[in-house]
Structure 1
Amino acid sequence: MANFSKSTGPRFSVDVYQNEYLPDGGREVNAIVTVTATGGGTTGRLPAPTAAVVIMVDCSGSMDYPPTKMRNAREATAAAIDTVRDGVAFAVVAGTHKAVEIFPGEGRPVPADPASRARAKDALRRLSPGGGTAIGTWLRLADRLLASSDVAIRHGILLTDGRNEHETPEELRAALDACAGRFTCDARGVGTDWEVKEVTGIASALLGTADIVADPSELTADFTRMMEHAMGKEVADVALRLWTPQGAEVRFVKQVAPTVEDLTDRRVAAGPRAGDYPTGSWGDESRDYHVCVRVPAAGIGQEMLAARVGLVLPDSGEGSPAPLRPGLVRAVWTDDMAASTAINPQVAHYTGQAELAQVIQQGLDARKAGDWSGATAKLGRAVQLASASGNEDTAKLLSKVVDVVDARTGTVRLKAKVAEADEMTLETRSTKTVRVKK
């Protein structure tokens, strides 16, 4: 185990789980890297002004159907504002086919205190639905507001109830590219008239969470939880640093818990044979990453360091960022068949969880395309994987889309009628995983 701590904030540790043994000529090395932060988050030791948050509320015309939806959104945003810690800077943006800063209206967030919270909630009461939806403009305004605050942790919360119909997918992609690495963002879809891939794509690009709130009356509880989670973050811009030796290549780096997120293409060069993969902001929490490295072939009895895995924390103002002492991924070639064919339990578990997320998406896509046999096969495999891994939450969501005949073998029948909210919930939450039982 490797450890690293800053004078304030969480203490990080890295653990590596793998089967290091390869057969003669074997080349692929897999490892699960568990990163844990302790002593930060809920302790609230860091001074509040190190964080800022912008809440983006959909105010398009569709928020008027039913009329209670806008009221629920206002109440949820007010509850989130009440959850902002004293001193944390915050702002509120009303989003339609344009973005308007409705609070504080000064071009930058202001610190939370009883007076500013009261002013913000007064501004919320004046919100009314009307207009279209151009989410990229909301994100760009949030970015400008957050950039105006001299803080370490920059966070956004975005609520939408409809499709992004007033800008092109390319415009939204450009906005996400411009905002990536500048702030994290949690995204929520309320009701069932929004596009799952848009909302999950926003959260993925900005290293936040995505979820559905099918019943608008549940927004207040969800917004409160989201803001409490955001208030627990104490270190931003943490990167996973991976070094590999000459002749080795990184096949992929994926976050596999608490959700599946492929980080492979987000690599930023960090010196000879090293690269940094963004992980966003951290409080008190633990996450798992699957690292796969292809090494040069070698003979029986040889061994090598396949990779070093560590963390890089942002500069605290006391010099350059110091990397965490790394965890080591090893490769040892053996003629012991039992040793070289054994699959590490952590690697096996998360390989299954990543496949589970993939086959759910493929199954739902096949169902939408009318490919019932393909959908049955993929969703049946999903039921089998969810059952075998103990992912009970996903198993329950699957049972609303298919009738399970035998979970062990993955034998299912597609339901003829599925509530839209149930299908969207399964798709939105398909990447949520369960931790391996140690």
Structure 2
Amino acid sequence: MPEFTIKVDQNRYLPEGGREVHAIVTVEATGAGPAASGAPAAEVIIIDTSGSMSFDGKMAEAKRAAKAAVDALRDGVHFAVVAGFNFARPVYPADETLAVVSPRTRQEAKAAIGRLDAAGGTAIGSWLRMAHKLMSRHGAGVRHAILLTDGKNQHETAAELDAALAAVDGGFVCDCRGVGTDWEVAELRKIASAMLGGVDIVADPRDLEADFRAMAEKAMGKAVADVALRVWTPQNGVLKFVKQVAPSLEDLTDRRVESAPQSGDYPTGSWGDEIRDYHVCVQVPPGEVGRQMRAAWIKLVAPDGAGGEQVLATGNVLAEWTDDEAKSTQINPRVAGYTGQAELAEAIQEGLAARREGDLDTATARLGRAVVLARQAGNEQIERLLDRVVDVVDPATGTVRLKKNVDKADEMSLDTRSTKTVRTRKDGG
């Protein structure tokens, strides 16, 4: 088991009668390496084998990538490979079970992958249900899937996909990849978000192999699963939101599960050696000058393997009322920094949507605002991606001109990566 710590960064001071408390909660896990090597784990690799995968070398590169992922799995891990088209078909093992990684099963799995052909449509909900069915037999431990697609979910309704996401909720973490430019960013982002995973574009199929290998290696570094952020608030207090703000933006507010009176759990998935930041906002009953209170009690909890739970780390969010205006009006720089990065993601997504709809004035204004925010955040990757979509006239004021000819892959890369953030330091930099 890795060691977990919680650190809370906030301005605790409120003016008389003030109610809203903001804090950045940093959770860090260290020492997962040795623990991960023996942690029970299951991995399912889901490959889109619909007919469109036969074009542009996508099928050949997807097979090469899936084989690389299999090679990256450590001995003893349970795994399966699934082909996705109008429905899901287990490729290895073929009998809807999980195999155990060994030199023999690696070779058998790679041989089965090599026989894959592209035909049929796309029904991602059925693919997720199959992965859930396979991993539900594994029991406790880290459960992870890689999902690759090259197109829209055309052979399921939105309601069918939503039903599938609800059915598999909490069953495993899923990282999603779109290859090429014929898939929908919003659709894959929705799936990855529901599954507590990441989403990214692989515009060139030749880059799939390295990406799959990296995802599998990262999954093998996870040591503890089903970790939740538990937040207690005082009587008459209201938890307004809980949002992951680093390494990517993810609003967890609506995923609350009541755990006790005045307490709720927010899922965070599996952990290895890593740091994540969360923005917590609590509304407390108004207080008089001089009063102090605990506005929130933060715990990190996980199953203990014996039917109970264990507390991995704790921290406090505090509130203190003061008549010192200099104290009560100071905005914590980390809170401000992450608020700006959330606005950045929103500006990018709104700007790109307006551009697609032909509303060029809104697109120019929102993407110009994004240029300003990216510069303030020091997010150089987003700045570079914005440069491919707009000509920046004045980065300080956000004066931009939309480029007339934009590569679709560049636009999708900007959209996909808009939710990836730059960690703010304690000094706000």
- For Structure 1 versus Structure 2, the TM-score category normalised by the shorter chain is over 0.9
Identity %: 59
SS at match of 1:157: strand
Residue deviations 1:128-183, cap 9 Å, x none?
10100000111101111111223411111100000100010110111111111011
Q: Matched residues in 2 for 1:182 and 1:249: separation?
A: 29
1:106 CA displacement: 2.7
Q: Matched residues in 1 for 2:113 and 2:316: separation?
A: 51
SS at match of 1:176: helix
1:200 aligns with 2:200: no
Q: How does 1:305-316 map to 2 (within 5 A)?
A: 305-316=294-305
Unaligned 5+ runs, structure 2: none
SS at match of 2:371: helix
The answer to whether the 8 Å contact 2:143/2:173 transfers is yes
SS at match of 1:17: strand
Who is 1:29 aligned against? Answer: 21
1:45 CA displacement: 4.9
1:437 CA displacement: 2.9
The structure 1 residue matched to 2:157, chosen from 145, 162, 168, is 168
Residue deviations 1:284-317, cap 9 Å, x none?
0000000001111122222221111111111222
Who is 1:63 aligned against? Answer: 53
Residue deviations 1:49-89, cap 9 Å, x none?
x00100000000000112x1100000000000000001111
SS at match of 2:303: coil
Q: With the length of structure 2 as denominator, give the TM-score of the two structures.
A: 0.97
Q: Matched residues in 2 for 1:370 and 1:135: separation?
A: 30
Deviates more, 1:278-287 or 1:389-398: 389-398
SS at match of 1:166: coil
Q: Matched residues in 2 for 1:60 and 1:190: separation?
A: 13
Query: How many corresponding residue pairs?
Result: 426
Q: Matched residues in 1 for 2:3 and 2:425: separation?
A: 23
Q: Matched residues in 2 for 1:92 and 1:179: separation?
A: 18
Q: Matched residues in 2 for 1:12 and 1:437: separation?
A: 19
Who is 2:335 aligned against? Answer: 347
The answer to whether the 8 Å contact 2:36/2:220 transfers is no
The answer to whether the 8 Å contact 2:63/2:114 transfers is yes
Q: With the length of structure 1 as denominator, give the TM-score of the two structures.
A: 0.95
C-alpha root-mean-square deviation of aligned residues, in Å?
1.1
Who is 1:286 aligned against? Answer: 275
Q: Matched residues in 2 for 1:150 and 1:324: separation?
A: 21
Q: Matched residues in 1 for 2:394 and 2:388: separation?
A: 15
The answer to whether the 8 Å contact 2:345/2:419 transfers is yes
The structure 2 residue matched to 1:275, chosen from 239, 253, 264, is 264
The structure 2 residue matched to 1:53, chosen from 43, 55, 66, is 43
AA paired with 1:251?
K
Q: How does 1:323-334 map to 2 (within 5 A)?
A: 323-334=311-322
AA paired with 1:379?
L
AA paired with 1:33?
V
1:237 CA displacement: 0.3
SS at match of 2:24: strand
Who is 2:404 aligned against? Answer: 416
1:378 aligns with 2:369: no
The answer to whether the 8 Å contact 1:38/1:283 transfers is yes
1:265 aligns with 2:257: no
The structure 2 residue matched to 1:11, chosen from 3, 6, 10, is 3
The answer to whether the 8 Å contact 1:108/1:149 transfers is no
The answer to whether the 8 Å contact 2:242/2:253 transfers is yes
The structure 2 residue matched to 1:403, chosen from 387, 391, 397, is 391
Q: Matched residues in 1 for 2:239 and 2:386: separation?
A: 34
The answer to whether the 8 Å contact 2:185/2:412 transfers is yes
AA paired with 1:254?
K
Who is 1:6 aligned against? Answer: none
Q: Matched residues in 1 for 2:313 and 2:48: separation?
A: 44
The answer to whether the 8 Å contact 2:23/2:335 transfers is yes
1:158 aligns with 2:147: yes
Runs of 4+ in 1 over 6 A off after TM superposition: none
1:345–1:192 distance in 2 versus 1, CA, 3 Å? same
Who is 2:326 aligned against? Answer: 338
Who is 2:284 aligned against? Answer: 295
Who is 1:5 aligned against? Answer: none
The answer to whether the 8 Å contact 1:156/1:183 transfers is yes
1:363 aligns with 2:355: no
Q: Matched residues in 2 for 1:395 and 1:314: separation?
A: 41
Unaligned 5+ runs, structure 1: 1-8
